[in-house]
Amino acid sequence: MPVFQVDFANSLVGGGVLKSGSVQEEIQFLMSPELIVARLFTERLGDNECLRITGISGRNAPVLAQDTVTTFPGRDLSTIKQNGTCGKVLLRRLLEMKIVDGSPDAKHVSMCISRDDWKRRYRQIVTLDAVDYKRSPREQYTKGSITRELNKAYVGFSGNPKTAVATGNWGCGAFKGDAKLKALIQLMAAAVCERDLAFFTFRNQEQVSDVKRMHQLLNSKRVSVGESF
């Protein structure tokens, strides 16, 4: 089973992995130490850039906390409409929702990962750096800020093959991002890129309900990505 994971990254890839950092990106890099090499040749990411790494192996077992996964299948092409250069794409109709408590067994996941034509493990990590809004949280609601985050998510989610994206509250910790806004931005980017989305909420059932309602409302009203923007 192909795996495509979002790394909630620092614009300098790896963040504080070689110092005292202990959040998502640093944990990810310590689980797969070969990722640290990327720090040697990756410049600071621009607003329209991401880093995609293929073939990673998980060598260190993390302490896995129980989680809640909300899946948004996104391959129902009958709900996708494009209108010339406007690129209006309908948010996908919600075919089903699945809530999964707990974390998969690491050995089972490793056995299920397929390989690409180059015989690399088809496990990809894409680094997406969010904007730090802790000094001015209101700024994230401006058109410029939303456009920046949409572009960043689109760059990260684009490309082939169109495997599901495993993501969550991107930039919503120390950077004070709005979890609902970031969920909507990622739903929009996944819709345009025709990818399924597995959204990890860390057992926040209230957020699960909020994101479900938002997704269902937009699809019931047949609101396009362009109209949402």
| Active-site annotation holder among 25, 129, 149, 196 | 25
Nearest Cα neighbor of 32 from 16, 54, 48, 51 is 54
Note if 25 is an active site residue. yes
pLDDT at 70 over 60: no
Q: Return the structure tokens found at 108.
A: 């089972």
The stretch 132-142 carries a mean pLDDT of 95
**pTM (two decimals):** 0.76
Task: Please report which confidence band the pLDDT of residue 124 belongs to, taking 50, 70 and 90 as the band edges.
Answer: confident
Q: Return the structure tokens found at 10.
A: 């620092």
Neighbours of 176 (CB within 10 A): 16
Which H helix or E strand runs over 12? none
| Predicted pLDDT at 153 | 96
DSSP-based three-state secondary structure for 157: helix
Residue type, 133: Y
| Predicted pLDDT at 131 | 94
Report the distance separating Cα 87 and Cα 192, nearest Å.
8
Note if 34 is an active site residue. no
| Domains: count for the chain | 1
CATH code of the domain in which 200 resides:
3.40.220.10
Tell me the CA end-to-end span of the chain in Å, nearest whole number: 33
pLDDT at 33 over 70: yes
CB 183, CB 199: distance < 8 Å: yes
Neighbours of 92 (CB within 10 A): 25
Pairing of strands 197-200, 165-168: parallel
DSSP-based three-state secondary structure for 107: helix
Note if 7 is an active site residue. yes
Which residue range forms the structural domain that includes residue 41?
3-228
| Active-site annotation holder among 7, 129, 149, 196 | 7
pLDDT digits (tens, 9 = 90+) for 42-65: 999 999 999 999 888 766 655 444
